[in-house]
Amino acid sequence: MRRLEVIALENLGEVQKGDSVGKLIYQACCQSRIALMQGDVLVAAHKIVSKAEGRIVRLAEVQPSARALELSRELHNKDARLVEVILSESRRIVRMGGGTLIVETRHGFICANAGVDLSNVGLGCVALLPREPDRSAREIRDKVGQLSGVMPGVIISDSFGRPWRLGTVDVAIGVSGVKPLKDDRGKNDRYGYELKASVTAVADELAAAAELVMGKRDEIPVVIIRGYGLESENGSAKELLRPEAEDLFRSS
Amino acid sequence: MRRLEVIALENLGEVQKGDSVGKLIYQACCQSRIALMQGDVLVAAHKIVSKAEGRIVRLAEVQPSARALELSRELHNKDARLVEVILSESRRIVRMGGGTLIVETRHGFICANAGVDLSNVGLGCVALLPREPDRSAREIRDKVGQLSGVMPGVIISDSFGRPWRLGTVDVAIGVSGVKPLKDDRGKNDRYGYELKASVTAVADELAAAAELVMGKRDEIPVVIIRGYGLESENGSAKELLRPEAEDLFRSS
């Protein structure tokens, strides 16, 4: 019977700058008596990766530019220092309104506030997204593989809002050992119809599944997904980015 | 340990017009020796619900309107009969380009082709979304509850594309016995910071998790999710719709 397990990894502890997230995950697995298995996918909330990589900014140390001050006023007095941090993480603003700044990040993700987040990082501080989330995922994969003897798939996740639908869903911002898109185009259905539009963002669905046991208060920043038929191919979260030319909702 | 199981329900068989999906699910559970448990969530691909409700259209019987013929030409000769069906399911066109028609359906969902789908329904036929997916979900819930003695949560799902990101993810288009949004606003994180933006579209995440075992060829149109802390509150998939006034990407 096809069955997936989504398992909360407990006992990870507080992550500090300089920590190896892969080592912490391995240790937490040992403490929880979880033996990683071939094909397991680890989903890690980006926040712990950002902390380990020192991607935390103290707002008191930020000097907002004139542009940030101007945008702050347009955004109902959103904290100008926060706006400054968001701008520094962005290639461009896609849209703004109602206190929200939708940008394209330097990685190419389109999301609110460039993923800069005030929660679960300490008062007066914000967390930035990892600089190269695929690399962060690969480092976790390599370290866990080295310590445990099993190479897991790794996904770094974040909670993104969406146009048209309320609520965030978690998506993959970095992957290693996971093919983020599953392409069924060209296969036939049971009636002989050739599937034409069936590309599934499985890395995003894995991230979404993990969120269901993570919760929003960082009690469980790492989740193990077991039983997903992981293919051995590698990939990059950049494969999930829709090219601008094919995007009907890109222009600002 | 927090753990979610995502279980493929096999042995459902081919669904025919007039079938009770709830009864078929109950019978498949019996045949698979799965005893439903309190708190289980059933996720059903809308296609089987559409079939049971007779929401299948034979394209040969569709007479395209002048408007459909005109749009067909603009959409690189997309089948005008298909365009006609899409228009009949839509309130308005949100955007079009590259052979794709993004519309707002009569339910209020914004998606490609009004959810009208050519796969897994038989050659020359298309499946429409259920007319009232929340009601469809409630009927399944009631029937399964009556037969099994356990009232499960029920989600009707479909695969939606997204702006900016490639690949579809499954989302909830109908729910019963499930609260689609989890609202953590006002709670404090471990540092005393009050969460301000933490509303999670858990029904969409449950649908996404289910897709990972469903696949795209309808082998597994129903999935059981076990271990999600289902609250007893009810809800409607309409809660997932972002009001137009709050939407930065609505205008066509």
pLDDT at A246 over 50: yes
pLDDT at residue B252, rounded to an integer: 46
The residue of chain B nearest to residue A184, with distances taken between CA atoms, is B216
Per-residue pLDDT reduced to its tens digit, B91-143: 999 998 878 899 999 999 999 999 999 888 888 999 999 999 999 999 999 99
pLDDT at A80 over 80: yes
Task: Output A190 or A147, whichever has higher pLDDT.
Answer: A147
Q: Do A5-53+130-242 and A57-126 show the same overall fold? A: no
Boundaries of every domain in chain B: 5-53+131-242, 57-126
Centroid of chain to Cα A164: 21
Given the candidates 3.40.140.80, 3.30.1330.100, 2.60.40.10, 3.90.580.10, the CATH classification of the domain at B5-53+131-242 is 3.30.1330.100
Q: Find, among A115, A4, A105, the residue nearest to A49 by Cα.
A: A115
Side chain identity at residue A149, one-letter code: G
Which residue among A165, A190, A216 sits closest to B198, beta carbon to beta carbon?
Answer: A216
SS3 assignment, position B198 = coil
| Residue tagged 């996404």 (tokens) | B208
Average pLDDT over residues A68-83: 94
pLDDT at B19 over 50: yes
pLDDT at residue A58, rounded to an integer: 97
Instruction: Kindly report the backbone phi and psi dihedral angles of residue A228, in degrees, each rounded to the nearest multiple of 5, phi listed first.
Output: -75, 130
Per-residue pLDDT reduced to its tens digit, A31-56: 999 999 999 999 999 999 999 999 99
∠ Cα B80 B83 B87 (to 5°): 140
Per-residue pLDDT reduced to its tens digit, B30-43: 999 999 999 999 99
Average pLDDT over residues A22-26: 98
Which ranges in A32-112 belong to alpha helices (H)? 46-52, 66-74, 80-88
Side chain identity at residue A29, one-letter code: C
Sorted by sequence, the CB contacts under 8 Å of residue B36 that are 6+ apart come out as: B29, B144, B148, B150, B152, B224
Chain A interface test: which of B82, B96, B113, B169 (most A C-beta within 10 Å): B169
pLDDT at residue B251, rounded to an integer: 61
pLDDT at residue B244, rounded to an integer: 86
Chain A interface test: which of B12, B95, B105, B165 (most A C-beta within 10 Å): B165
pLDDT at residue A252, rounded to an integer: 46
The residue of chain B nearest to residue A110, with distances taken between CA atoms, is B164
ipTM of the complex: 0.96
CA distances from A156 to A45, A114, A173 (A): 6, 16, 6
The residue of chain B nearest to residue A187, with distances taken between CA atoms, is B217
- Domain range A5-53+130-242, CATH class: alpha beta
Side chain identity at residue A46, one-letter code: H
Instruction: Kindly report the backbone phi and psi dihedral angles of residue B98, in degrees, each rounded to the nearest multiple of 5, phi listed first.
Output: 55, 35
The percentage of residues in chain B with a pLDDT greater than 70, rounded to a whole number, is 97
Task: Output A189 or A92, whichever has higher pLDDT.
Answer: A92
The whole-angstrom distance between B244's CA and the closest CA on chain A is 8
Contact B167 A180 (CB under 8 A): yes
Name every chain A residue with its beta carbon within 8 A of the beta carbon of B86.
Answer: none
* Helix or strand holding residue B206 (H, E): helix B202-214
pLDDT at A251 over 70: no
pLDDT at residue A88, rounded to an integer: 97
Residue B149 DSSP code: S
The residue of chain A nearest to residue B102, with distances taken between CA atoms, is A248
CATH architecture of residue range(s) A57-126: Alpha-Beta Complex (3.90)
Torsion of CA B6, B10, B13, B19, to 10 degrees: -40
Name every chain B residue with its beta carbon within 8 A of the beta carbon of A120.
Answer: 189-191, 193
Average pLDDT over residues A80-98: 94
Per-residue pLDDT reduced to its tens digit, A148-169: 999 999 999 999 999 999 999 9
Q: What is the pTM of this model?
A: 0.96
Dihedral of alpha carbons B235, B135, B246, A128, sign? positive
Structure tokens at B168: 């579809």
Q: How far apart are CA B199 and CA B176, in angstroms?
A: 19
Mean per-residue pLDDT of chain A: 93
Name every chain B residue with its beta carbon within 8 A of the beta carbon of A242.
Answer: 162-166
DSSP E strands: which ranges in chain B? 3-8, 41-45, 56-58, 90-97, 100-105, 110-112, 125-127, 153-160, 169-176, 182-183, 199-200, 222-226
